[in-house]
Amino acid sequence: MSPDSSYLDPYRDAVAEMGAGFEAQLWLSKDAQAKRFKVIADAINQHSTIADLGCGQGDLLIYLQQHNQLPKHFIGIEGVQEMTTHAQQRVDALGIKNAVFQTHDFVADTKLPSQLVKDAGVECFIFSGSLNTLSMNQAQAVLAQFYKALEKSGRGTLIFNFLSNRHDKQRTPAQHPAVRFDPTEMLDWALNQTTRTQLRHEYLAGHDATIVMQVPND
């Protein structure tokens, strides 16, 4: 029996309906995406090798290029093959070097975190919008695997955002298939992994939250 990957179904359905592109990533808007990316970019701290888990069509990498923050190496991990192919084509057309896109299910592939750290030298894992179809418990389990891989290496940063349930519910109601998490529970979980944890909740008026976790290296 194949493992359950229903969390990818909304994206597969979107690609089947609209083709690989911005709309198939199920972002609210390009403006909101850019605000999320700005928060992530502020936290990257010049890591030389970054992996973007659930990279979609490669928008984060292109944002970093546009803002002169390209890492030395970039690995995009995407669960939908059509999006992986589209992302690589976009980035190649822009002449961005040292960027590769691969198709993996980062939820199901439990070996992926250590492989990316050991074999590719990844120092920073980023999840932007890619936890939205998971339950909070599922998301924490996935994040724990990636943080532990960094922790075992003795260095690195884990950055992830999620839809907050402390938003203005009348103005921006939760919409299927997106799942909202309690930011206090997510922050508590992160602090149990490392005291070097930061929460940002202001940039989309509470609609969204970003947590940054640093592996202690002293």
Cα 218 from Cα 195, distance rounded (Å): 13
pLDDT digits (tens, 9 = 90+) for 32-56: 889 999 999 999 977 889 999 999 8
Q: What is the pLDDT along the chain (218 residues), one digit of tens a residue?
A: 345 677 665 556 555 666 555 554 456 667 788 999 999 999 997 788 999 999 988 999 999 999 999 999 999 999 888 889 989 999 999 999 999 999 999 999 999 999 999 999 999 999 999 998 899 999 999 999 999 999 999 999 999 999 999 976 665 556 666 789 999 999 999 999 999 999 999 999 888 999 999 999 87
pLDDT of residue 66: 94
pLDDT at 2: 43
**pTM confidence score:** 0.90
* pLDDT the model gives residue 18: 63
Instruction: Give the mean pLDDT of the chain.
Output: 87
Phi and psi, residue 51, nearest 5°: -120, 130
| pLDDT the model gives residue 10 | 58
Question: What distance lies between CA 6 and its chain's CA centroid?
Answer: 18
What local confidence, expressed as pLDDT, does residue 35 receive?
A: 94
- The set of long-range contacts for 173-179, using a CB threshold of 8 Å and a minimum separation of 24, is 177/9, 177/10, 177/26, 177/132, 177/133, 178/26, 178/132, 178/133, 179/132, 179/133, 179/134, 179/135, 179/136
CA trace torsion 122, 126, 130, 132 (10° rounding): 140
What is the architecture of the domain spanning 6-214? Answer: 3-Layer(aba) Sandwich (3.40)
pLDDT score for 152: 97
Per-residue pLDDT at 164 = 93
Query: HSE-up of 93 (CA within 13 Å, CB side)?
Result: 9
| Per-residue pLDDT at 45 | 77
Please tell me the predicted confidence (pLDDT) of residue 24: 47
